[in-house]
Amino acid sequence: MAGNLEAMVDDNDSDNSVDEAPIFTPELAMLKAKESGKKIPNAGAADDEEDDDEDMDGGKLEDIAEYPDAFSDSEEEKEDYTIRRTDSILVAATAESDHSNLEVYIYEHDKGNLYVHHEVILGAYPLCLEWVPKWQGNRANLMAVGTFLPEIEIWNLDSESCDPVAILGSMNLSEQAKNENASLTAKYKKKGPATMAFSEQTHTDSVMSLSVNPFQSEYLASGSADHTVRIWDLDEGICKMTYRDSHSDKV
């Protein structure tokens, strides 16, 4: 009897020793749980929690907030790009080789600094500029640009967009007028005077001069190498009037 009791105690001790034996791998833990009918632990979640604990306790991950964003502007750069009410904006048209730009300068009166704020890439050689203080009934900071093309581009100086706000005139209509005007071809073959191509809606040659009405800034006058002067309605974006016979040469 005593021998049987000792054997049972030995068997129970051996079972408890097996149950209490340390498990060194997640695979063994899953196998043991399957044999005993218990819930199988998620090894991946356990590993993730362990990694998180190591990262937090061991200090493997450093606080990202302590480091500035590599792509963010510094305070000094943000200061340079900020346009204040006391600053003056100057615009210069430049051309170098095949590249034409509008350079937007900022002049700081209190510091006496003058620097380029940003540039606007133009599609053609600039010939004239005119500031437009009003657009669609609201105060604005726009620049009208006349080039060798028969179009007038309107650029927003407060934006770095690669596209103009509006374009007055049309290259397609200009080319159509030139093709319809047979005398334009004779201009390049004869020395005598020739009639310029004409279109009701657009200039047919380079835009050489611009002027905004100082009393009604929604109207813009333009002179062109096609011998015409046009009055444009900036709110509607169309030509309201054309003076065709007032000039016999480029305007």
Kindly state whether residues 26 and 125 are assigned to the same domain: no
Residue 251 included in any domain: no
Residue 142 included in any domain: yes
Secondary structure element (H or E) that encloses residue 12, with its range: helix 2-19
Kindly state whether residues 222 and 126 are assigned to the same domain: yes
Kindly state whether residues 201 and 105 are assigned to the same domain: yes
Kindly state whether residues 165 and 236 are assigned to the same domain: yes
Would you put residue 137 in left (φ > 0), alpha (ψ -120 to 50) or beta?
left
**Per-residue exposure over 211-237, b if at least 16 CB sit within 10 Å of its own CB, e if not:** ebeeeebbbbbbbbbbbbbbebebeee
- Residue-level pLDDT, tens digit, the chain, 251 residues: 544 545 554 555 444 444 455 544 566 666 667 666 666 555 455 455 555 544 444 444 444 444 444 445 566 666 667 778 888 889 999 988 888 999 989 898 888 889 888 888 998 999 999 999 988 888 888 999 999 999 999 999 888 788 999 999 888 888 888 777 655 455 555 544 456 677 788 898 999 999 999 999 999 999 999 999 999 999 999 999 999 888 888 98
Kindly state whether residues 11 and 83 are assigned to the same domain: no
Look up the CATH number of the domain holding residue 79: 2.130.10.10
Kindly state whether residues 58 and 104 are assigned to the same domain: no
Domain boundary, last residue among 24, 41, 66: 66
Packing angle of the helix pair 43-58, 26-36 (nearest 10 deg): 140
Cα(208)–Cα(222) distance, integer angstroms: 8
Q: What contacts 175, CB < 8 A, 6 or more positions away?
A: none
Kindly state whether residues 61 and 111 are assigned to the same domain: no
- Apex 102 CA angle, 200 and 158, nearest 5: 90
| pLDDT for res 136 | 85
Kindly state whether residues 120 and 15 are assigned to the same domain: no
Indicate the number of domains in the chain: 2
Q: Are residues 109 and 87 in contact, defined by beta-carbon separation less than 8 angstroms?
A: yes
Neighbour tally for 204: CB within 10 Å: 23
Cα 104 to its chain centre, rounded Å, is 16
Residue 248 included in any domain: no
Residue 215, SS3 per DSSP: coil
Kindly state whether residues 233 and 190 are assigned to the same domain: yes
Domain boundary, last residue among 43, 66, 89: 66
Beta bridge partners of 220: 212, 232
The residue range of the domain holding 9 is 2-66
Residue 228 included in any domain: yes
Kindly state whether residues 51 and 31 are assigned to the same domain: yes
Cα(235)–Cα(154) distance, integer angstroms: 12
Domain boundary, last residue among 17, 42, 66: 66
Kindly state whether residues 148 and 102 are assigned to the same domain: yes
Residue where the block lists tokens 């374009």? 167
Kindly state whether residues 207 and 175 are assigned to the same domain: yes
